[in-house]
């Protein structure tokens, strides 16, 4: 097995911050009504960027765990019954079927996200999408894990809709979006050699459509990308099932 296949996937920074704050809430370190440290203090304490902190707070707000008060700060809120269901979206995908179901949910949202990005994105937002695309390509060419860059690419497209709800949705769903390396490692399955090449091609089709301001083509490209992802996870499920059968027969 190569070094690239054994390296532990780098956890998405936004999800790492969400997990740290949520852990403090769950353990009682942060109680209902407590004020979170200021944005600047969180940046220093957690060693991440302002963007990461803001996306984490947006996700926690969407889950009903915190409530920002303009000019005052961010406060821990009383959990609501509906929040318990939303909190399930903050947990890691445990099974491939869970990941496939999340992809079906994403199809209902991200296809339109790509279309809106093609219509609404500013030059700066388009540049960010391309930056994320090239960051993915650089990791792919270096034979390193690409999950974080893949996720960032999709978030950049969501930002380009200029509708914060799309960003909140993806950030909330973040842990479930791209767990392929973790699932493969836990199952002892070798990564499919050309998967990042296929993803690269699919990403390119999406960004070209957005750059051409062609919303329908962007929607089709995103649909093909996410549908392809579901097919790849189904194929991975069959590989894992086969590996388990072989192991049980030994």
Percentage of the chain surpassing pLDDT 90? Answer: 37
Reported confidence tier of residue 163, pLDDT bands at 50, 70, 90: very high
Which three-class secondary structure state does DSSP give residue 35? strand
Q: What is the DSSP letter of 1?
A: -
Domains of the chain: 3-80 (1.10.10.10), 92-249 (1.20.120.530)
Highest mean pLDDT among 4-13, 19-28, 71-80, 132-141: 132-141
Supply the DSSP string of 51-101, one letter for each residue: HHHHHHHHHHHHTTSEEEETTTEEEE-PPPHHHHHHHGGGSPP-SHHHHHH
Taking the C-alpha atoms of residue 229 and residue 219, their distance in angstroms, rounded to an integer, is 15
Give the predicted TM-score (pTM) of the model.
0.62
Tens of pLDDT along 82-98? 444 444 444 444 566 66
What's the pLDDT tens digit per position in 218-229? 999 999 999 988
Q: How far apart are CA 231 and CA 215, in angstroms?
A: 24
Task: Tell me if 161 sits within 8 A of 116, measured CB to CB.
Answer: yes
Residue 234 has pLDDT above 50, yes or no: yes
The total number of residues written for the chain in this structure: 250
CB-based contact 205:157 (threshold 8 Å): no
d(C-alpha 227, C-alpha 106), whole Å: 10
Going by C-alpha positions, the residue among 10, 15, 9, 25 that lies closest to residue 52 is 15
């Amino acid at each position: 097995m190569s070094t690239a296949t054994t390296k532990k996937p780098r956890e998405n920074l936004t999800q790492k911050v969400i997990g740290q704050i949520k852990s403090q809430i769950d353990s009682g370190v942060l109680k209902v009504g407590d004020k979170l440290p200021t944005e600047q203090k969180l940046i220093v304490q957690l060693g991440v960027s302002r963007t990461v902190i803001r996306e984490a707070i947006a996700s926690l707000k969407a889950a009903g765990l915190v409530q920002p008060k303009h000019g005052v700060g961010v406060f821990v809120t009383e959990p609501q019954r509906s929040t318990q269901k939303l909190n399930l979206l903050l947990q890691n995908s445990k099974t491939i079927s869970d990941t496939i179901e999340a992809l079906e949910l994403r199809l209902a949202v991200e296809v339109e996200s790509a279309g809106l990005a093609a219509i609404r994105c500013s030059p700066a937002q388009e540049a960010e999408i391309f930056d994320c695309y090239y960051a993915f390509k650089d990791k792919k060419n270096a034979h390193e894990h690409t999950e974080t860059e893949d996720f960032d690419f999709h978030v950049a497209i969501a930002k380009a809709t200029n509708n914060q709800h799309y960003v909140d949705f993806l950030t909330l769903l973040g842990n479930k979006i791209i767990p392929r390396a973790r699932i493969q490692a836990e199952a002892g399955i070798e990564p499919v050699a050309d998967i990042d090449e296929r993803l690269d091609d699919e990403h390119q089709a999406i960004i070209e459509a957005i750059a051409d301001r062609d919303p329908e083509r962007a929607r089709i490209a995103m649909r093909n990308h996410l549908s392809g992802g579901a097919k790849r996870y189904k194929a991975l499920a069959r590989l894992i099932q086969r590996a388990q059968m072989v192991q049980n027969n030994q």
